[in-house]
Amino acid sequence: MAPRSKSSPQSVALHRGLGARVLSAVFRPKQLLLLAVAVLGVVLIPTLLRSLPDLRDRPEYRLKAMDIVVSDLPLWVPQDLVERAVRSAGLAGELSVMDANVVEEVAEAFRLQPWVARVDAVVKSVPARIEVELTFRRPVAMVQVENGMYPVDGEGILLPPTDFSVADTQQFPLIMNVRSTPQGPAGTNWGDAAVLGAASLAEQLSSEWNDLRLDAIWVTPHSNENANIDDLTFELISPGGSHILWGRFPDTKHPGELTVEQKIGRLRKVLSERGSFDSPNGPYEIDIRHWLEISITQLSATERIGSRR
């Protein structure tokens, strides 16, 4: 048997020094205390959390869903909007502001409402309160089709027809000569470029409509049922049946088209000079599209479209 090799004094000293340093690093009171705290935390914290009372059930953190506050609810929006949102989303009952999901649940409930264009914020606070900030859709016109009239906003979004009385429908511009019907429920786009263009025009003229004494927007027929919105033209109808050839929708990029402001200026010029679009022996066809002139010609009996009023 080969004789064992003996460790040198230097090697023994090296091993002893290394072991001493390891023991010294591990068995310091501060490190041991931190280790003990960490172990206890892992073991005890879940147990402690389970034993704490559920704050979600405390009365100061709970409120009835019907007590959600909508800030700045405009008059044209149904005043029972909160009730509609809560019921349709199945939130009836009580909510807790301590619930981690309550903000998103409330936001989604209002996001699904056809009158709501955008949920801007849902703010919860204590004592229990939830306030919702919304951007609303605003009706700008009524679209006349064979089976009735439908309200739309400036982007051609269908609004709930049942929220409007017959008297309400008379307060808005009428969009006429639309061949389509809504492609979806309230809160969705009508799905027709003609409606989008006419609704955009109604929105642009909303602040001027009554002063200009207008009655309706007529969609000029196009040979292509799937025509692009920039290919469509529109006319304004006066109460006496005069046709004002407006041209393309407000946001058109078509070269040579007058601006909305220029066209409104021409409408005001005609009213200033003639008193109304139908005087003295109307109805007329009034063309405001040209750069250099406004042309006015009398309509024949076959060219006239009756006013709804």
Residues β-bridged to residue 129: 125
What pLDDT does residue 300 have?
Answer: 84
The 3-state DSSP class for residue 153 equals strand
Are 154 and 140 contacting, i.e. CB atoms less than 8 angstroms apart?
A: yes
Cα distance between residue 216 and residue 143, in whole Å:
10
What pLDDT does residue 40 have?
Answer: 60
As a CATH number, domain 56-136 is 3.10.20
Sheet strands (E) in 188-230: 216-219
- What tokens appear for 53 in the block? 């009372």
What pLDDT does residue 39 have?
Answer: 61
Helix (H) or strand (E) run with residue 26 in it: helix 9-26
Instruction: Give how far the C-alpha of residue 230 lies from the chain's centroid of Cα atoms, to the nearest Å.
Output: 24
**CATH fold for the domain made of 139-303:** Rossmann fold (3.40.50)
Tell me how crowded residue 140 is: count the other CB atoms within 10 A of its CB.
25
Helix (H) or strand (E) run with residue 41 in it: helix 29-51
Q: Is the omega angle on the peptide bond into residue 151 within 30 degrees of 0, that is, cis?
A: no
CB half-sphere exposure, 250, CA atoms < 13 A:
15
pLDDT tens track, the chain, 309 positions: 555 555 555 554 445 555 555 556 555 666 656 666 666 666 666 665 555 556 556 878 999 999 999 999 999 999 999 999 999 999 978 999 999 999 999 999 999 999 999 999 999 999 999 999 999 999 999 999 998 999 999 999 999 999 999 999 999 999 999 999 999 999 999 999 999 999 999 999 999 999 999 999 999 988 777 788 999 999 999 999 999 999 999 999 889 999 999 999 999 999 999 999 999 999 999 999 999 999 999 998 767 665 544
Cα distance between residue 214 and residue 244, in whole Å:
10
What pLDDT does residue 8 have?
Answer: 57
CB half-sphere exposure, 7, CA atoms < 13 A:
8
Parse the chain into domains and list their residue ranges. 56-136, 139-303
Q: 150-155: which pairs have CB atoms within 8 A and are 24 or more residues apart?
A: 150/182, 150/190, 152/190, 152/195, 152/199, 153/117, 153/199, 153/203, 154/199, 154/200, 154/202, 154/203, 155/189, 155/196, 155/199, 155/200
